Amino acid sequence: MFANMFGGGGGNFNFGGGGGGKRARGRGSGGGGSGDGIFESMFEGMGGMGGMGGMGGMGGPGRGGGGGRRDQRKKPPKELFPKNSSTGIAPLGRAKFPDATSKFLWVVAFYSNDSAECAAAQPFLEKFAAAARGTFKVGAVNCRRSADDTKFCSQYGVDVKKLPAFGVVVQGKLTLYDKVKATPSMKGLHGFAVEYVPMDRVLSCNHPDKVQKRLHDPAAAQKKMGYVLLLTDKYETSPKYASLAYRYRDHFIFGESRGSTLIMAQHYKVKKYPVLIAFTLRGKDAVMSRLEDLRANDIGEWLEKIAK
C-alpha cells in the first residue's frame, strides 16, 4: 500500500515530492556483519594412554592421563538475508540479478555472513526496504557464499574485502554508492537512489490537448495498452510515481498535471487531489478508470488489474 501519497525524497513519500536526476557516479563500499559464534564440542575419546598419563583408562584414544582433547568445529554463520523473508529483501546473485528487462528499480546490498559490519547493517537494510516499498525493490548479494559469488561481486566493481557495499540498479546498470565507510544513513542511501530514478518517463500534461498529443497518440502508435494521468496539487514529480511509470513502461505511457491546474481540474472533474486516471485504449477510443482514494488503495495492484 502506498501509506503516504506519492511524495518526493524521504522514506515515506507524498505524491509529488522532490524528483531526482541521473548522474555519473563512482563506486563505494562499506563495512558489515558477523557470524553467530556458536561452537559445537565433540568428545572423541574419554580414555587415556595409561602409564604416563596417570589414572586414564587403557582403551581410549586420548593423550595424557584421563582426558580427551575437544574437537571444536564452528557452525556456518547465520544467513543474514534468507529466502522468503517477511522483510521483502530478495536474495540475489549471478543466477538472479536485475537486468534491463527487470520491472523494478533496485537498491542492492553486497554482504558477507561472517562480517560483523554486515550483521550490524542488517536491521538498517530491513528498515530501508520497508520505507522504500513501492519505489524500490531491495535485494542482497552474499559475496562470500562461494568462489563464483565472490567473482560475480568483483565483476561489478565491489571490493569484497570492504563489505557491506550498496548500489542502485536501473535498466540493468549498477551504480555503487561511493559515500559510505560503513552503514549509510537512511536519508543518504535514499537520496542517492532517487538520483537515478528515470523521471523522464513521466510527461507533463497541463492542458487536455497535451494529454492527446503526449499520451493518447503515442500510446496508440506504440500499441500500448493505454496511458495513465496523475492530477496533483504538488509541483514536482514524485519518485514513487516515476517508479510506477518505469514498472509499467511496457503497458502504459505516464503523464502528470501538477500544481492544481484549473483547466485540467474542470475537464476531468477533480474535486480533491490527487486523482489517478487510467485510460485503456479500445480502437480510437479510451475507456477511463479513476482512482481517487490513493491512501486506501494499492496503486500497483490497481494497475495490475487494469493491465490484465
User: What pLDDT does residue 69 have?
Assistant: 54
Give CA 153 to chain center in angstroms: 17
Strand pairing partners for 249?
none
Q: Sketch out the chain's domains with CATH numbers.
A: 90-194 (3.40.30.10), 199-307 (3.40.30.10)
pLDDT reported for residue 272: 94
Q: How many Å apart are CA 162 and CA 169, to the nearest integer?
A: 20
Per the CB < 8 A criterion, the answer to whether 45 and 62 are in contact is: yes
Mean pLDDT of 29-33: 40
**What pLDDT was estimated at residue 30?**
39
Whether 29 shows a pLDDT value over 60: the answer reads: no
Write out pLDDT tens, residues 133-158: 999 999 999 999 999 999 999 999 99
| 262-288 pLDDT tens trace | 999 999 999 999 999 999 999 888 999
**Strand (E) positions, the chain?**
39-43, 70-74, 90-92, 106-111, 137-142, 165-170, 173-176, 202-204, 226-231, 252-257, 275-282, 285-291
Position 181 scores a pLDDT of 61
Burial of 97 (0-12, 13-18, 19+ CB in 10 A): middle
8-state DSSP, 33: B
At position 304, the amino acid (one-letter code) is E
| Residues 256, 188: Cα–Cα separation, whole Å | 27
Write down the pLDDT at residue 3. Answer: 39
Q: Per-residue pLDDT tens for 208-265?
A: 999 999 999 999 999 999 999 999 999 999 999 999 999 999 999 999 999 999 999 9
Q: Residue 106 is placed in which grid cell?
A: 533496485
Report long-range pairs for 267-272 (Cβ below 8 Å, ≥24 apart).
Answer: 267/208, 268/229, 268/231, 270/231
Q: Report yes or no on whether pTM surpasses 0.85.
A: no
Q: CA geometry: angle at 11 spanning 165 and 5, to 5°?
A: 145
